[in-house]
């Protein structure tokens, strides 16, 4: 397949790995965060960590839209779906995310709520059009990548003058989460996260471009290299970060030149600015309540705002106390450091969002199983030492 296989070429991967190994300085360590769940999956799937020198560590970031959604917002969505006459439309990833008191959208559907899995916000518009007797609510989540399609759906609903379509808006902003990762003080008993640079988001950056990351390079002296999702993309971005650190440069560089431009998608940006405005604050799983970190519908579109159309109280609910999703999303722990990982918590029986979502770090670690090889190696080394 052209333009995919080339980015999965083993010989080229080994050549980049050799370049990284040759350029890392042996007397220091390197720690980079890949913000996106898509990069986390590429790293797990293709065994990229096994190709990196021992003194270079990759830290998983909070860039999984399902994972960062707090329990209270899932509870809120279940409350919406429970209302008579309401059809809640959602992406499949959200269905099994644990809500409070053992609930989930899937269980609410089994109990009789009209909850439907869709592939696109336009599916929800279509359902509203064909079933005018139902109040159709689209459960909108995601970073800047999925915000423009929600804006398109709202414009379409407006053009069709649909009275029975609304959006439960949970779109969040990537640069604010990156800022929170850098600024959040370490909680008692948690290890500090010393990040020296970011592998920047791929799809998000196709929309927002390169400029929003410049503050991290300029003010925080943290290099950012925007990377595509294929293994060679990620490895090349890591090499570019190593070079920046070695040369004491702090710049925003673009490895993903086949899709990302400096300005981003200005048409999508204008559309989103027309439809959405920034909320005062928003709660994130793992990062807490962050000011100006999420979007809501502008006044002009208030009639499509599910939070205004339906009076469902916003609830603050706590995660399962044994689940370490918060620390994992902050980059402070790895999935294998959670006591429930692979025992009580698996993709079949998820206890937290990071094990449910296809972009979650726990799901990536479990699905590709590389931790098993590491555990086997560690046990063999311990046996040899004894």
Q: Provide the binding-site residues for ligand SF4, judged by CB under 6 A.
A: 323-325, 328, 335, 338, 340-341, 345, 351-352, 354-355, 362
Q: Which is nearer to ligand SF4, 285 or 296 (CB)?
A: 285
Cβ-closest residue to ligand SF4? 352
* Residues sharing a CB contact under 8 Å with residue 27, sequence separation 6 or more, in sequence order: none
Smallest distance, Å, CB 112 to ligand SF4? 28
Smallest distance, Å, CB 362 to ligand SF4? 3
Smallest distance, Å, CB 55 to ligand SF4? 26
Smallest distance, Å, CB 342 to ligand SF4? 7
Smallest distance, Å, CB 375 to ligand SF4? 15
- Kindly state the DSSP code that residue 247 receives in the 8-state scheme: T
* Cβ count within 10 A of residue 288: 14
* Residues sharing a CB contact under 8 Å with residue 161, sequence separation 6 or more, in sequence order: none
Q: Which is nearer to ligand SF4, 99 or 323 (CB)?
A: 323
Which tokens go with 67?
Answer: 């994972």
Give the pairing type, strands 30-36 and 56-63. parallel
Nearest alpha carbon to residue 67 among 341, 358, 307:
358
Q: Which is nearer to ligand SF4, 127 or 327 (CB)?
A: 327
Smallest distance, Å, CB 328 to ligand SF4? 5
Q: Which is nearer to ligand SF4, 102 or 112 (CB)?
A: 102
CA atoms within 13 A on the CB side of 199: 37
Q: Which is nearer to ligand SF4, 230 or 319 (CB)?
A: 319
| 344 touches 351 (CB < 8 A) | yes
Q: Which is nearer to ligand SF4, 283 or 307 (CB)?
A: 283
How many Å separate Cα 141 from the centre of its chain? 10
Nearest alpha carbon to residue 354 among 332, 321, 323:
323
């Amino acid at each position: 397949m052209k333009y995919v296989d080339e980015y999965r070429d083993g010989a080229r991967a080994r050549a980049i790995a050799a370049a990284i190994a040759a350029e890392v300085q042996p007397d220091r360590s390197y720690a980079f965060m890949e913000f996106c769940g898509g990069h986390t999956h590429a790293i797990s799937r293709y065994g990229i960590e096994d190709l990196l020198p021992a003194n270079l560590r990759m830290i998983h970031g909070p860039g999984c839209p399902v994972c960062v959604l707090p329990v209270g917002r899932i509870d809120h969505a279940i409350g919406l779906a429970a209302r008579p006459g309401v059809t809640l439309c959602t992406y499949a990833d959200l269905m099994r995310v644990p809500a409070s008191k053992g609930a989930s959208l899937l269980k609410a559907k089994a109990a009789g709520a009209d909850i439907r899995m869709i592939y696109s916000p336009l599916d929800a518009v279509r359902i509203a059009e064909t079933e005018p007797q139902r109040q159709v609510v689209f459960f909108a989540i995601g970073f800047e990548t999925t915000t423009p399609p929600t804006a398109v759906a709202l414009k379409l609903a407006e053009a069709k003058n649909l009275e029975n379509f609304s959006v439960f808006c949970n779109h969040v902003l990537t640069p604010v989460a990156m800022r929170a990762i850098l600024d959040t003080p370490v909680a008692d008993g948690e290890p500090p996260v010393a990040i020296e640079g970011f592998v920047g988001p791929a799809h998000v950056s196709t929309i927002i471009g390169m400029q929003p990351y410049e503050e991290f390079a300029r003010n925080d002296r943290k290099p950012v290299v925007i990377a595509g999702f294929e293994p060679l993309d990620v490895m090349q971005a890591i090499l570019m970060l190593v070079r920046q650190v070695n040369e004491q440069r702090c710049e925003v560089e673009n490895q993903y030149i086949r899709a990302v431009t400096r300005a981003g998608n200005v048409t999508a940006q204008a559309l989103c600015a027309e439809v959405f405005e920034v909320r005062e604050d928003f709660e994130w799983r793992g990062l807490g309540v962050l000011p100006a970190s999420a979007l809501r519908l502008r006044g002009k579109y208030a009639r499509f705002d599910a939070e205004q159309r339906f009076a469902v109280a916003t609830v603050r609910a706590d995660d399962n106390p044994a689940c370490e999703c918060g620390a994992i999303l902050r980059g402070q722990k790895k999935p294998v450091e959670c006591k429930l990982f692979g025992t009580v918590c698996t993709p079949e029986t998820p206890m937290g969002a990071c094990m449910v979502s296809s972009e979650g770090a726990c799901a990536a670690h479990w699905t590709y199983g590389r931790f098993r090889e590491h555990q086997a190696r560690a046990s063999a080394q311990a046996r040899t030492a004894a």
